[in-house]
Amino acid sequence: MENNNYLDSVIKQFEYYKSLGDKAFAQVSDEHLFWQSHEDSNSIATIVKHLWGNMRSRWTDFLNTDGEKPWRDRESEFENDWESREEMLEKWEAGWAVFLNALHSLRAADLDTIVYIRNQGHTVLEAINRQLAHYPYHVGQIVFIAKMCATQWQSLSIPRGGSGAFNAEKFAQPPRREHFTEGL
């Protein structure tokens, strides 16, 4: 796969995971955004706060400065102290904007550039892949908590009992090359 194809694909992949979070938030009450199953667990808002902190730190001036910025207060990211859906959504959007703008600014030639996270060198490609594991992990937690809290859950993928119809629709089309998120 050419590196430009990699960048296009990974951006679409991250946009897909952002959309899963967006759709999960829409299905829960404001109260459930801050719900914790016990004191050592994270609420949806706390997970968003952590993602926001990580995205800002890792991807602000990421080609030139260490991804663990001196201004980041990671420990405070796990305090469940945000007070509104609006605040949470504002930070969610802000974190993703920093991250996706950084990805959109990349060119294939940048992928072999060394960047640092806590003084450990990574190629840009490795740094992206590190987040491709980290961010969907947390989005999955958000979706899981939302699904537990929602009074009526609307599937974010192929709904139960819908696999046959979904596959029939896909196989009724000619073979083609496209990202799986196209048409979602």
Q: At residue 164, does pLDDT exceed 70?
A: yes
The predicted-structure confidence for 111-142, as pLDDT tens digits, reads as follows 999 999 999 999 999 999 999 999 999 999 99
pLDDT score for 108: 94
Evaluate whether 54 touches 98 at the Cβ level (below 8 Å). no
66 token code pair:
């260490």
Q: What pLDDT is stored for residue 23 in this prediction?
A: 98
Which pLDDT value is given to residue 1? 43
Q: Report the alpha-carbon distance of residue 135 to residue 42 in Å, rounded.
A: 15
Least confident span in 90-99, 142-151, 175-184: 175-184
The model carries a pTM of 0.93
Of 107, 10, 109, 127, the C-alpha closest to 58 is: 127
Instruction: Indicate whether 183 pLDDT > 70.
Output: no
Domains along the sequence of the chain with CATH: 3-156 (1.20.120.450)
C-alpha 35: how far from chain center: 20
**DSSP per position, 123-160:** EHHHHHHHHHHHHHHHHHHHHHHHHHH-SSPPPSSSPT
Average pLDDT, the chain: 94
Element (H, E) at 31: helix 30-33
Sign of CA dihedral 138, 144, 149, 151: positive
pLDDT at 3: 55
Q: What single DSSP character describes residue 120?
A: E
CA distance 161 to 106: 41
At residue 63, the pLDDT reads: 96
Q: Which long-range contacts (CB under 8 A, 24 or more apart) does 51-54 make?
A: 51/92, 51/95, 51/135, 51/138, 52/77, 52/91, 52/92, 52/94, 52/95, 53/77, 53/95, 54/95, 54/134
pLDDT digits (tens, 9 = 90+) for 67-98: 999 999 999 999 999 999 999 999 999 999 99
What is the percentage of the chain residues whose pLDDT exceeds 70?
A: 97
CB 102 within 8 A of CB 68: no
Residue 184: band (very low, low, confident or very high) from pLDDT cuts 50, 70, 90: low
Helix then strand then coil, in percent of the chain rounded to 5, is 60, 5, 35
Mean pLDDT across 2-16? 88
Across residues 5-22, what is the average pLDDT? 96
